[in-house]
Amino acid sequence: MGNTKYDIEKFSGENDFGLWRIKMEAILIQQGCAEAIKGEEKMSSSLTQKEKTNMIEKARSAIILCLGDKALREVAREKTAAAMWLKLESLYMTKSLAHRLCLKQRLYSFKMTETKSIVDQLAEFNKILDDLENIEVQLEDEDKALLLLNSLPRNYEHFKDAILYGKEQDITLDEVQTSIRTKELQRQQDNKTDDNGESLNVSRGRSEKKGQSQKGKKARSKSKIGDRSKFKCFYCHKVGHFKKNCPERNRDQKSSADSADIAAISDGYESADVLVVTTSQTQKDWVMDSGCSYHMCPKKDYFETLKLKEGGTVLLGDDHPCQVQGIGTVRLKMFDNREYILKDVRYVPDLKRNLISISMFDSLGYATKTQHGVLKILNGSLVIAKGNKDKNNGLFVLDGSTVMAHASIARNDIDKTKLWHLRLGHVSERGLIELEKQNLLKGDKLDKLEFCEHCVLGKSHRVKFGTGIHVSSRPFEYVHADLWGPSRVKTLGGGSYFLTIIDDFTRRVWLYVLKDKTETYKKFRDWYTLIQNQLETKLKVLRTDNGLEFLSEQFAEFCRNQGIKRHRTVPHTPQQNGLAERMNRTILERVRCMLLGSGLSKKFWGEAATTAAYLINRCPSSALNNKTPMEAWHGKPVDYSNLRVFGSLAYAHVKEGKLEPRAVKCVFIGYPDGVKGYKLWKLEKGGGKCIISRDVTFDETKLGILEEQQMEESSSKDHVQFEVESSTHSSEINQTENYEEITDGASSSGEVARNQDISSYQLVRDIIEQCFTTGEKISL
């Protein structure tokens, strides 16, 4: 900047935004316009309007001149300095969960190397800490110091031991950084002195090898510097050898290797050293370690479940690698006699101690607090585990014990618990337990459900509101309805909304995907006609919010004519329609989990939503004493034999030429209403299309993830082709129409069967044959 006293490097969008932000604030203070970035309403009231305007323009121009072209394009449309500042912070100081996770992973996996400058690596470590502070992630100062110590390269092991075992009180980050810088200066000076001594010796004509081979002979040089007896060792301070050949130094290093195991996990991820653990300690204790990447245990009889497999190596202090021979769960009894199951514990037989990884608890969302020699792992205000600092070695040892169990050795086959969890659209573990108790899962024996990252990412939510209480005595007596949308991404059929209708007595949900909210009245009327005809009774009460789609005169007149009493929420209080709002939240949680787990594009959210509603109706509900909504509605248990994992790879049978393949590759995307078959997305060149087929072979261990190019090609079309394939026992008949969303309710048809309930695959075939015979049209 030519008109300022100091120039700063322009922010390009790729350099350090945190440092640029500090420098930019200093420039604005220097120019007397720092208040402008707070916003005009927060500026000093003593300033006139003209002064405020001048200050804002001056600050805006200063920011523009300190931005590179790439960053400037991002904020060029903002008219004030405050708006520019907020936009830059939102772009480059994001506080999202993914960004916090990324920074924490970088911190816990940070590892220094011997080949790079320690000072430069300290600056890199401090940058990670600054980035975390900028997004308001707080860490204890002692945790920072321990992480920094743990990141030091192997040639700093003695220095690390001195810090860990030489201090009785807590250590601070500033103390550790100051000690590291001092140590690095000393090492540089020692190396410089060693290099000078050895270079002098070699330049005078006597190398170390030559000196050994010519004992008793005179050197050809007349200089006395070549006489090794004149040199002093910088390690033991004795004369006659250099530090690198010092016998005492070599003996100390060997002793250190014998008395301490230093382990580093290598399992396809960035490794992190484990703190020093002495073998003289009892092997029953569990050491709580902030540097260990995974939980590790050397005793097979500690495992409650164990799957034997090769899973990387553990590197000990003498460079001896130890194999990770399995992974499983270990049950621990905590300080309060509560039992806790450690998951994903690595079985390392050659390890000397049991290790609990603090970083794994952090990845699960737990907090860590260290105070007065006690390390606590917290879930909110609940203490999950705690460890006490050992006065002898400074390590935190778990206040608890192992619950002994004979390991159940697992084979490398499909995890039935995880498979049913995915088939049921990421149902809760409690729901799986209830279905197993009722023997509805083909007799499969379920284990503890492993951690599901997609559930954490898709189902995180705020604390719930209190629920109102009302009593319904039969189905179709009290109904809740709500409209969700619009979605920023349209479905394959062009839908932007979905309407949910929930029966209060049975908790059964119907879901309709709509292109526009004006379709709400028609869908509700069709649903009402269908259910009234099935149950031969009338609806008493309908509860909705105050959305315009429910307040139209057409909707009100229909309710009056049918004798339906209306319950509405107070304006701007959607919590009063709690059941419908919670159902929408549950559906969207399932949708996010299913799309994340399958890798499908967001354009499939309509298929995921209808599938989620289908599965929710088949999962236990606590409001029904753990019965399923479909069982409460029909009065008989549900059949789960047709369930498959959403997004899994499928092969649909086709009847082509005799030498052509007899199946096509597809992706499973749902259960069509009223048809005994599966809804599939057919993978083919030039874009896919939706088909329904009964004869399908599934590979639920693989996902048929769509390529982006294919999605772009298919999304460029106005309509997606929808194909119903006939039974293999009938003539080969294919009828293709423009695709519409399949919903969990009455299917609308053309002139042939508008209100007809398609209840079997045979009926679909008959209707299609009728269309070919009469020339009439049908829309599925």
Segment holding 197, helix H or strand E:
helix 173-203
Where do the DSSP E strands lie in 674-753?
A: 678-682, 689-693, 696-703, 721-725, 734-738
Q: Are strands 678-682 and 689-693 parallel, antiparallel or unpaired?
A: antiparallel
Distance CA 549, CA 545 (A): 10
Could you tell me if 377 and 367 are in contact, meaning their C-beta atoms sit under 8 angstroms apart? yes
The residue assigned the tokens 């060997």 is 254
Could you tell me if 300 and 354 are in contact, meaning their C-beta atoms sit under 8 angstroms apart? no
Distance CA 116, CA 105 (A): 21
Segment holding 102, helix H or strand E:
helix 97-108
Distance CA 677, CA 274 (A): 54
Tokens, residue 496 = 């932007």
Could you tell me if 689 and 682 are in contact, meaning their C-beta atoms sit under 8 angstroms apart? yes
**Nearest residue to 673 (alpha-carbon basis) of 608, 757, 735, 737:** 757
Question: Which residue among 273, 289, 504, 744 is the active-site one?
Answer: 289
Tokens, residue 188 = 């540089």
Q: Residue 640 contacts by C-beta under 8 Å, 6 or more apart in sequence?
A: 423, 435, 440, 441, 442, 618
Tokens, residue 334 = 């905590």
Q: Is 289 a catalytic residue?
A: yes
Distance CA 493, CA 743 (A): 12
**Nearest residue to 394 (alpha-carbon basis) of 158, 112, 179, 146:** 146
Could you tell me if 580 and 556 are in contact, meaning their C-beta atoms sit under 8 angstroms apart? no
Could you tell me if 706 and 688 are in contact, meaning their C-beta atoms sit under 8 angstroms apart? yes
Reduce the DSSP state of residue 147 to 3 states and report it. helix
Could you tell me if 501 and 612 are in contact, meaning their C-beta atoms sit under 8 angstroms apart? no
Enumerate the H helices of 494-566 as residue ranges.
520-535, 548-551, 553-562
Distance CA 693, CA 652 (A): 7
Residues serving a catalytic function are 289
